[in-house]
Amino acid sequence: MAASQDAGKVRRMQPHWAPPTGTQVPRLKLYNSLTRQKEVFIPQCGNKVAWYSCGPTVYDASHMGHARSYISFDILRRVLHDYFNYDVLYVMNITDIDDKIIKRARQSHLLESYASNGKSHSELLQDVAQAMQVFTKKMETEEDADKRTMQQSIAEKVKQVVCELNVAIEEGRPEDAIQATRKRLLEVACDPLGEWLDAALSATVTDNSIFNKLPRFWEGEFHKDMTALNVLPADCLTRVSEYCPEIVEYVQKIIDNGFAYESNGSVYFTTDMFDRSSGHSYAKLVPEAYGDSKELLGGEGDLCITEDRLSEKRSPNDFALWKASKPGEPAWDSPWGKGRPGWHIECSVMASSICGESIDIHTGGFDLKFPHHDNELAQAEAYFGNDHWVRYFLHTGHLTIAGCKMSKSLKNFITIKEALQQYSARQLRLAFLLHSWKDTLDYSSNTMELAIQYERSVNEFFLTVKDIVRSTPSSGVEAFSKWNDAEKDLDAKFHERRSAIHEALCDSVDTRTTMDHLRELVSAGNVYIRGRREGKQPPNRALLKGIAVYITHMLKIFGAIESEDPIGFPLTTEGSQNLEETVMPYLTAFADFREGVRKVAREQKVVAILEQCDSVRDEVLPNLGVRLEDVEGQVATLKLVDKETLLREKETKRQEEEKKRLEKERRKQEQLDAQAAREAQKRMPPWDLFRSEKDKYSAFDDKGMPTHDVTGKELPKSATKKLAKLYQQQEKKYNDYLKSVDSNQKENAST
């Protein structure tokens, strides 16, 4: 009995505990082009993510359209790996066999040979004329308005240089001048002349090495551009030229499975049969484009849009898996004869070779949806016999140039190298981060100015926090200060922004919203610092450092910061030494010495020394990339900023001061003019007050008062009354003036 009572007592003494309800943490969702909505991201193999990305077709310089895709993919990849901690295998291909590459390589080879064959000036002019006849006919039938405008521009340039060369020859100008004009003609006429030579001589090109030389060069340039943009290299890089045996085997199996057929040495995929078969559907990404002959032809390549090629197909909807090689084209052995891979098959084969029968993520540009990616899906699912070769398809949005479509074929593209001459890689990345990865992005001066302003405001916050961290104890009792309401409010905002950022990144990696939250966090930090300094209290070092470290960490995840520094954008010397760590101790010692000198100068009122201290701050240090800010009653703030930025700030400040000076002088002159007008008004006799206003009055009485308006009509009594009042006021001013003159005369006479 006693034992049971004791047990009950123990139970009554045990406290009640229940877990907190809390909130549900959001899960990562990605916008899936296959479903056209956001889907919860669930990899197929635990934490591992198999990711295949369509790489470039390397026949020319990489442009901002490439930057749009590959920077966006790089951001997505970094977020999945570094923020969500997925184990990502990132595979990217290089298309080094393609109709564009074959044509460009062949034409470049033929143009080089033509330029060195010693043709006379008249022969060159005759050949260019024939090439332009063909080019003009093509231009007249071009349906695309943008392309036609580009072709017209080429034709005008060729016409102009042809005229210049004829004039130079007729006038007998020096041979070096004629040769310079001739060289320029070959440059401006390279497209029409290359097409003309290719049409006549393509079959004579038998050296297959030229088809390897061109893509290898441009692939190297592409990798250099990606490195300059801080885009991480792929974990696995595949080239079409290295996978031709696998492509042949892949195509054979598709034939064996009943979804492809051989025709005249080429192999075509039968889309109708695939679409009708159980468990399959064609054009999953863009079903409304099924049967779009223009898009389908565009995917086949220029060299295959010929009557004999098109007649080989059983249906216009079928597309090439393997193309029989014609003379002047590279070729590989196959059961169907010498040939080369179709464009779409390469990605299916290479992605399957590395990632297997089902890929977690497949990425590419928006313009690749149809037919390229839809054809990829059909080929792979015909090969594996499944209906889920890709789980999540992610497509980046278009890039426009100042609102206009950008295209290599239109020759209005900006190369990555050209963009990097005007903006830094970080600024370009910030511009992309400030937009959704799946929406159209307009590359313009306005877009880049927003990115530059964002960089400037965040960098200024970093510099301020660094100065606070340097100027306060880092350890010991003094390192910890009491949190008051200001600190608690800032910490609450810090937590709110972090939660909001996590939610935004879970929402299909919404970097635009994320960057807004980071900006708000910077603003909250600046408001807190300003409030503390106005109250002459030191800001809390640990709290601000935590915020700055977090913002830095997020920008590192996004690839906008490359260094290992815990706070801010790096400043490095040529030897990659941390400039801040190297010079800041010396700058701090100098600033402390300067503050001591200023204190003595103020106490002893030595103005010249104070002026010298200001001169060092305003004239000397900015030229060294140092901003020193004097804060009343506190230690001066030191910030390392690039020299160009400081000099621009200095010039802006000078212009603003000059503007203020001119405005001050203008107001002063207005006051003087008004004073002079008032003085002149006093000296006017009242009988002359209205006589000059001939546009208002036509008759006056003997006192100078108006009696009739300009039309000759007698003035009403109400108007006469108002004028009489003005007359009396002027009469008083004039009498006062006369009295002052009389008084001055008497005073002068007495002296």
Task: Compute CA distances 625 → 454, 615, 738, whole Å.
Answer: 20, 15, 66
Q: Give the DSSP H/E element, type plus range, for residue 395.
A: strand 390-396
Tokens of 386: 């499944």
Whole-number pLDDT of residue 576: 47
The confidence score (pLDDT) of residue 384 equals 97
Under a CB-based contact definition with an 8 Å cutoff, are residues 58 and 239 in contact?
no
Q: What are the backbone dihedrals phi and psi of residue 17, each rounded to the nearest 5 degrees, phi first? A: -135, 140
The predicted-structure confidence for 219-273, as pLDDT tens digits, reads as follows 999 999 999 999 999 999 999 999 999 999 999 999 999 999 999 999 999 999 9
Q: What structural domains does the chain harbor?
A: 99-215 (no CATH), 428-569 (1.10.730.10), 686-750 (no CATH)
pLDDT tens-digit series, residues 63-106:
999 999 999 999 999 999 999 999 999 999 999 999 999 999 99
**What's 25's DSSP letter?**
P
Q: Give yes or no for a contact between 461 and 523, defined as CB atoms under 8 angstroms apart.
A: no
**What does the pLDDT read at residue 197?**
95
Residue-level pLDDT at 410: 59
Decide: 598 and 634 in contact? Cβ < 8 Å.
Answer: no
**Confidence label for 145 from pLDDT (cuts 50, 70 and 90):** confident
Q: Under DSSP, is residue 407 helix (H, G, I), strand (E, B) or coil?
A: coil
Say how far apart CA 525 and CA 513 lie, in whole Å: 19
Where do we find the tokens 């979804």? 259
Burial of 521 (0-12, 13-18, 19+ CB in 10 A): buried
Q: How far apart are CA 551 and CA 609, in angstroms?
A: 41
Q: What is the 3-state secondary structure (H, E, C) of 603-640?
A: HCCCHHHHHHHHHHHHHHHHHHCEEEECCCCCCCEEEE
pLDDT confidence band for 328 (50 / 70 / 90): very high
- Report the candidate in 696, 749, 741, 747 with the shortest Cα–Cα distance to residue 723: 696
Predicted confidence (pLDDT) per residue in 589-638, tens digit: 888 888 889 889 888 998 899 889 888 888 888 888 888 888 777 778 88
Structure-token match 């893509």, residue found: 215
Contact 554, 509 (CB under 8 A): no
Give the best-scoring range by mean pLDDT among 10-24, 183-197, 409-423.
Answer: 183-197
Place of tokens 């039938």: 141
- Distance, CA of 473 to CA of 476 (rounded, Å): 7
Q: How confident is the model over 143-161, as a mean pLDDT?
A: 89
Could you tell me the pTM of the whole model?
0.80
Q: Which of 180-194, 573-587, 645-659 has the lowest mean pLDDT?
A: 573-587
Region at 697 (left for phi over 0; alpha for psi -120 to 50; beta for the rest): beta
Instruction: Return the pLDDT at 490.
Output: 98
Q: Is the peptide bond before 371 cis (omega within 30 degrees of 0)?
A: yes
Give the CA distances from residue 226 to residues 108, 572, 626, in Å, rounded to whole numbers and listed in that order. 25, 21, 32
What's the pLDDT band for 575 if we cut at 50, 70, 90? Answer: very low
Of 295-309, 571-585, 695-709, give the lowest mean pLDDT range.
Answer: 571-585
Cβ contact 454:434 at 8 Å: yes
The pair phi, psi for residue 697, each rounded to 5°, is: -130, 150
